Amino acid sequence: MKHFGTVESFDESKGVGFIKPEVAGKHISFERSAISGENQTPPAVGKRLSYEVADTNGETRAISLQNA
């Protein structure tokens, strides 16, 4: 199921960031490796994305990030 949200932050040195969902809920983390495409350039803060959600070791993460 696709979800939509905007990038709240991205830490270039750690390769992780957070998305604020458009639908109510807490922010969700993502890793650089979850960005779809060949060069995996991190999206700018405020950028709207579509993503899917996966549960890994009890932690919810955004995967398959794409520009929306």
The CATH number of whichever domain residue 38 belongs to comes to 2.40.50.140
Structure-token pair, residue 50: 């579509």
> Per residue in 18-60, pLDDT tens?
999 998 788 999 999 898 877 677 789 999 999 999 998 888 9
Instruction: Output the CA–CA distances (angstroms, integers) from residue 63 to 35, 43, in the order listed.
Output: 7, 14
How many domains, in total, are found in the chain? Answer: 1
Q: How many CA atoms lie within 13 A of 64 on its CB side?
A: 9
User: pLDDT: is 57 or 8 the higher one?
Assistant: 8
State yes or no: pLDDT of 3 exceeds 80: yes
> What's the predicted TM-score (pTM) here?
0.85
Domain interval for residue 56:
3-67
- Stated as kind and residue range, the H or E segment containing 4 is strand 3-11
Token look-up 């998305």 returns 19
